[in-house]
Amino acid sequence: MDQNNQRRNRPRMRVGSIDGVIKLVSNSNLQNKTFKVNPQKPSLINLGNRTTYQKSKILERSRTRDVSLDGLIDTLAPRHVNATKIDQSLDFDSSLKTQSVVTPIKSLKKKIGWKKRTLIIILALVVLGLSFAGWDAYNLLNQVKHVNVNGLITVPNGSPENILVAGSTNRCNLKVQNAQWGFCSNGVTGVNSDIILIFHFVPKTRSVTILSIPRDTFVPNARKGHQSFKIDAALYEGPSQLVRAVEEDFGIPIQHYVEVGFDGFVNIVNALGGVKMNFSMPVYDAYSHLNITSPGCKLLNGLEALQVIRARHLQYKPANVQTMNHYYWPYEQQSDIGRIDRTHQFLDVLASTVKHEGLGNPIVDQKLLTAVLPNVKIDSNFSSENILQLVADFHSVNLAHAPELTLPVAVTGFGSYIFQNYNYGDVVFPVNPMDHNVIDQFLNIKPNINPLNNQPLPNPSSVKLNVVNGSGINGQATQTADQLASIGFKIINQPTSINPGSTQANETVVYYANSTSEADAEEVANQLTGYVILSKNPTMVNSGSNVTVLTGSGLSVTGQTTQLKATTNTKNVTSAINEYTASKASNSALLQAQATYNISPPTVANTQHKPWDPTVCS
């Protein structure tokens, strides 16, 4: 071959966008394949009979070796390059002998606005950030801990996915112990999930919705053996139990699991040099050790920021209180709901901070991921290919248009909830139909669809059930059975009763025996208003029936609930849910239970900013 022919066969220089890089590494033709790297020519990656040119010498090896997709990510994201561009219209036709050139470009900071990067901040600092150019992704991926999680529901490629993100309180796993959190060596060995977030990703529409479940929500399957507890206690028995509780008690399918500890959160904030939050008044929390003594914009380090989002017993000093003695400061009276609102606000602050620091800056990126990844756990099925596919689908999503919802609950005023002779402390109750409507809205499904498999719910005439009085209210089981029968459900046995679990108040539990009858339980629960929750427990379902309804406080049969109109606009979603919540909360049985047992009206689904909550510094 002459010199001219050799020159014509060299790779051509072409320029494209970051979408091309993502398209390349997530292309289905590249999945589960290896690529030959020539150590004598480290500037070339051979993709079969196609060649991609790479200026970086990062691929130098002592001998030719196979490189997996992880290695390809490493190649496309050399540490000393801010980002890369590659042609967005790459054609991987096998007839082509050469293909596009990868060339360094300026930082992505100008390419993707900070508001669009907010979504990436939330999950990217946990898992999705591995996709950004500017660091050695291969080595960083090796730092992520993988755990076996049972019960995850597999869906076909391209289907919507739900990722459960838990904030763990495990002190014994911390590399550095801290007196404010309590020492593992002193017996502070409890493991709970301070934060329970679910991210719903829909690849077809490139949409994302976020749902928070309050950690104090009292559920029947929090522990193994069908043991009732607050849902945050499920993590004590491992991530599989937390996934099981979310799926069995709320009917929300989970595809992947991510867990972050105290130190991971603290390290993120410290890697950014702290975050600035504006306080309109002094605030204090004796349990989280938050203590802001004066109003104004404060620079918080990682430990101080953690104090903010962990505050569940917050006191504040309004203008009419003159003393600095915390004894005279009023309490927020919202417990975990207030903490969730501050967590959502903190995410905005974190986004603002990253905007100034510059996500896409390789130095900042390296610090952030090095800080968080060793302290992150993900399920063993959450592969680098899964992560890259999420990035390919959602890297440009604008979180400002993504609904952020909180499961509505009723805050109890018991002080300590005594159930079956055990003290559970402060609890909140789920509330139907608000919860079912919010979950349907979160998953973007109609009310007659089973959220676990997207199949239609059964007709009431095919559902056989028993009704058991679990509240102690005279005649409640008989009345409930008659009303359900009038809708079309088949009542198998005469209503019975058991001793109430609590003298304070009781939830209505709709029990089902197995995954097949879960749809039956969903259909029954859709007809009920009150403190209603699902539970998979075959010991509570009699032979010959599909479902058992254990009645509780504030229960009434109201028939099929009305589905909210689907929308991707946050304001429209939350206002519709709030209006619907207010109208259903006027139910007489629910109002009577609120007055009798000192239970608050249902909370709203959207974030409610209070005057004492910190905000982004102007």
Report pLDDT for 75.
36
189-209 as b/e, with b when 16 or more CB fall inside 10 Å? eebbbbbbbbbbbbbeeebbb
**Residues 339/170/126/34 CA torsion (nearest 10 deg):** -160
H or E element at residue 528: strand 528-529
- 330: preceding bond cis by omega (within 30 degrees): no
**What's the pLDDT at 182?**
54
The per-residue DSSP string of 541-579 comes to S-TT-SEEEEE-TT-EE--SPPPPPP-S-HHHHHHHHHH
* 479: DSSP letter: H
pLDDT at 24: 41
pLDDT tens digits along 323-355: 999 999 999 877 778 888 888 788 778 767 766
Better-scored residue on pLDDT, 42 or 252: 252
For the chain, first and last CA: distance in Å?
66
Q: Cα separation of 467 and 548, whole Å?
A: 6
Residues 6+ apart with CB under 8 A from 530: 431, 432, 508, 552, 553, 554, 555, 556, 587, 589, 590, 593
Q: What is the pLDDT of residues 491-524, one digit of tens each?
A: 998 899 999 999 999 999 999 999 999 999 999 9
Query: Which pLDDT score, from 0 to 100, does residue 180 have?
Result: 58
Average of per-residue pLDDT across 214-224: 94
Q: Which pLDDT score, from 0 to 100, does residue 604 have?
A: 87
pLDDT at 177 (0 to 100) = 53
Structure tokens at 443: 């998953």
Enumerate residues 6+ apart whose C-beta is below 8 A from 148. Answer: 240, 379, 380
Encoding tokens for residue 62?
A: 């002592």
pLDDT in tens, 1-25: 444 444 444 433 333 333 433 444 4
- Is-contact 165 195, C-beta < 8 A? yes
> Using CB atoms within 10 A of its CB, is residue 178 exposed (0-12), middle (13-18) or buried (19+)?
middle
Q: Which residue's entry shows tokens 């055990």?
A: 422
- Going by pLDDT thresholds of 50, 70 and 90, the confidence category of residue 186 is low
Give the Cα separation of 616 and 285 in Å (integer): 20
In this model, does residue 290 exceed pLDDT 80?
A: yes
In this prediction the pTM is 0.74
Encoded amino acid at 385, one letter = E
For 128-267+360-413, CATH gives 3.40.630.190
How would you classify residue 274: left for phi > 0, otherwise alpha for psi between -120 and 50, otherwise beta? left
User: How do residues 50-85 score in pLDDT, each as one tens digit?
Assistant: 333 333 333 333 333 333 333 333 333 333 333 333
Name the H helices within 37-76.
Answer: 69-76
- SS3 letters across 81-119: CCEEEECCCCCCCCCCCCCCEEEEECCCCCCCCHHHHHH
**pLDDT-derived band of residue 201, with 50, 70 and 90 as boundaries?**
very high
The pLDDT of residue 377:
84
- Spatial CA neighbour of 344 closest among 144, 158, 16, 615: 615
Reported as half-sphere exposure (CB side, CA atoms, 13 A), residue 602 has a value of 32
For the cut 60, the answer to whether the pLDDT of residue 45 exceeds it is no
Task: State the Cα torsion 106-110-114-115 to the nearest 10°.
Answer: -140
Going by C-alpha positions, the residue among 52, 66, 65 that lies closest to residue 14 is 52
Averaged pLDDT for residues 524-534: 96
pLDDT score of 120: 43
Domain ranges of the chain: 9-106, 128-267+360-413, 428-597
Instruction: Supply the pLDDT for residue 325.
Output: 95
Helix axes 262-271, 302-309, angle to 10 degrees: 130
- Helix, strand, coil in percent for the chain, rounding step 5: 35, 25, 45
Average pLDDT over residues 423-435: 93
pLDDT band at 295 (very low <50, low <70, confident <90, very high): very high
Q: Tell me: the pLDDT tens digits for 76-87?
A: 333 333 333 333
C-alpha–C-alpha distance, residues 374 and 377, integer Å: 8
Share of the chain above pLDDT 70, in %: 63
Q: What does pLDDT average to over the chain?
A: 74
Q: Quick one: which H or E segment has residue 299? A: strand 296-300
Q: State the pLDDT at residue 208.
A: 87
* Phi/psi-derived region of residue 148, left when phi > 0, alpha when psi is between -120 and 50, beta in every other case: beta
- Of 113-127, 504-518, 528-542, the least confident: 113-127
pLDDT digits (tens, 9 = 90+) for 234-244: 998 999 999 99
487: three-class secondary structure by DSSP = helix
* pLDDT over 90, % of the chain: 40
Q: Which residue would you say has higher pLDDT here, 5 or 462?
A: 462
- The partner residues of 534 in beta bridges, in order of sequence, read 510
Q: pLDDT at residue 218 above 50? A: yes
- What Å distances lie between residue 121 and 127, 257, 354, 371, CA to CA? 10, 17, 8, 14
Q: Are 377 and 258 in contact (CB under 8 A)?
A: yes
Average pLDDT over residues 283-296: 94
Q: Which residue has the higher pLDDT, 245 or 560?
A: 245
Tokens of 593: 């239970």
pLDDT over 80 (residue 586)? no
Q: Which of 240-254, 304-318, 572-586, 594-608 is predicted most confidently?
A: 240-254
H or E element, residue 309: helix 302-309
Among 225, 258, 226, 253, smallest CA distance to 239 is for 258
* pLDDT given for residue 559 in this prediction: 75
CB contact set of 385 (below 8 Å; sequence gap of 6+): 26, 31, 32, 69
Nearest Cα neighbor of 408 from 426, 424, 432 is: 432
Q: Which is higher by pLDDT, 7 or 528?
A: 528
Cα dist from 611 to 295, 317, 570, 608, whole Å: 12, 11, 22, 10
Write down the pLDDT at residue 62.
33
Structure tokens at 108: 């992505």
What is the pLDDT, as a whole number, of residue 158?
87
What letter represents residue 184's amino acid? C
Residue 112 has pLDDT above 70, yes or no: no
Q: Residue range 160-172: average pLDDT?
A: 78
Are the beta carbons of 131 and 22 closer than 8 angstroms? yes
pLDDT at site 357: 67
- If you write DSSP's letter for every residue of 112-147 in order, what string do you get? S-HHHHHHIIIIITTTGGGGSSSS-HHHHHTTSEEE
Average pLDDT score over residue span 162-180: 67
Is residue 440 within 8 A of residue 446, CB to CB? The reply is yes
Compute the distance between CA of residue 359 and CA of residue 356 in angstroms, rounded to an integer.
9
Average pLDDT of 448-465?
94
What's the whole-number mean pLDDT along residues 458-480?
95
Kindly state the average pLDDT of the residues 155-168: 90
